[in-house]
Structure 1
Amino acid sequence: MKKVLVLNSSLNGEQGNSTKLSQLFVEQLSSKQQIAVTTRDLSNDAIAHLTQTEMAAWMTDANERSDEQKALAAISDELIAELTDNELIVIGMPMYNFGIPSTFKAWIDRIARAGITFKYTEQGAVGLLENKKVVVLAARGGIYQGTDMDTQTKYLKDVLGFVGISDINFIYAEGLAMPGAEQSLQAAEQQISSFTDNL
């Protein structure tokens, strides 16, 4: 059975286009094979911005942490365990002001931890997460794919690659605030159907 982690971060919750696409992806995949799904809504269950106090808790030996430090370290530990436990990561990704939602950045800040998901060597940083596939369902109001304004694609490839995840796939639904939005969604839905056929 394939274990799937779904990460959503739309401010519009289940009504968000990126969330609808991630839900459709899971529905399509579940109709074709057995899967076990864990869903985390990063907008509804938002993680606070990372602080120096929390980072210091990670760097304190587990046996020496205060109660506050244990609680702070547990946030990152839980998210990393969740990521490590699943082989397929499905990301519903809206675009806000040309970037990723700040709630998703807060998630990244918790799962990118030196000595746990990456390490530094004489040759530079080496990612420690293995055997993961990521599918990003990117919903955008405008049309940015392949342009300099698409900062999301490069950032996600870079930061996920940094922790060892290189198998990253994108399905775009663009121009959703423009005429022709329905055709764009239909094209994305067709790509989802084809992609899940081959998983």
Structure 2
Amino acid sequence: MKTLIINTHPDFTNEEHYSIKLQKLFMEKFQESFPADQLTLLNLYDIEVPRIEKGQLMDVWQKQIAGEPLSATEQAVADQSAHLLAQFKEHHRIVIVAPLHNFNVTSRMKDYMDNIMIARETFKYTEDGSVGLMTDDYRVLLLQASGSIYTNHDRYTPLEFSHFYLQKMFEEIMGFDQFSIVRAQGTSVITPQAVWANVPADMQKAFDQFYAD
């Protein structure tokens, strides 16, 4: 099963970050379980991710709709966007490695989503609303680190938009069969031992479900 890891952390080489620790734990389990298989690792802050703005995707899409030729710069943007979409679609297991930034996904992750949420590619519009096209046993696993704790059903719980946003986009819009999350939370308010206490068991459970037949 082809697996794509999308690392959304701006400081993705710093192994002290808990999201990077989560990624490392996942990769260790993957190598133990599938020693003959290779992971695809995509560090969003190490590549160009086209954005919806003038000079990039806005101009590309407008010209494509009008049937107008693209400039060399616009063609490079279009090619990169098409590559990201094709890479995404060919992997049936998607792992998102993410810190929580201001209760939401990182800005580069939002840019990435704008390149894969493409009508007639990953979803389509119908008279009854949008329908997902990613329905051939696609699954996503979110590995999230956060400074605070968002599972105590207090005032902060409904403010954590990132996993709600991702779950709805992947499951409700694109049609993924499964969305799971493993959290390392409270990194700014509790001890490292407490942060990590439940992570190994949570990871094992999510990993087993992620690759279950």
Name the TM-score, length of structure 1 as normaliser: 0.89
Q: Structure 1 residue 5: deviation in Å? A: 0.2
Which residue is equivalent to 1:54? Answer: 57
User: Compared with structure 1, are the counterparts of its residues 70 and 48 closer, same or farther at alpha carbon in structure 2 (3 Å cutoff)?
Assistant: closer
Which residue in 1 is equivalent to 2:205? Answer: 194
Worse overlay, 48-57 or 16-25 = 48-57
Aligned to 1:65: 69
Deviates more, 1:93-102 or 1:11-20: 11-20
Aligned to 1:102: 107
Could you tell me which residue of structure 1 aligns to residue 84 of structure 2? Answer: 79
- Determine the structure 2 residue equivalent to 1:20: 21
Paired residue for 1:35? 37
Displacement, 1:112? Answer: 0.8
- Look up the equivalent residue of 1:169 and give its one-letter code: S
The CA distance in 2 between the partners of 1:46 and 1:142, in whole Å, is 30
2:111 is aligned with what amino acid? A
How far has the Cα of 1:10 moved from its partner?
1.4
Could you list the runs of 5+ residues in structure 2 that have no partner in the other structure? none
% identity of equivalent residues: 27
Mapped contact 1:75–1:110 kept (Cα < 8 A): no
- Retained in 2: the 8 A contact 1:140–1:173? yes
1:182 paired residue among 181, 186, 193: 193
Q: Structure 1's 156 and 77: CA in aligned 2 closer, same or farther, altered over 3 A?
A: same
Instruction: Assess if the C-alpha contact under 8 Å between 1:7 and 1:40 holds in 2.
Output: yes
Q: Report the 3-state secondary structure (helix = DSSP H, G, I; strand = E; otherwise coil) of the residue aligned with 2:176.
A: coil
Work out which of the residue numbers 163, 187, 197 in structure 2 matches 1:153: 163
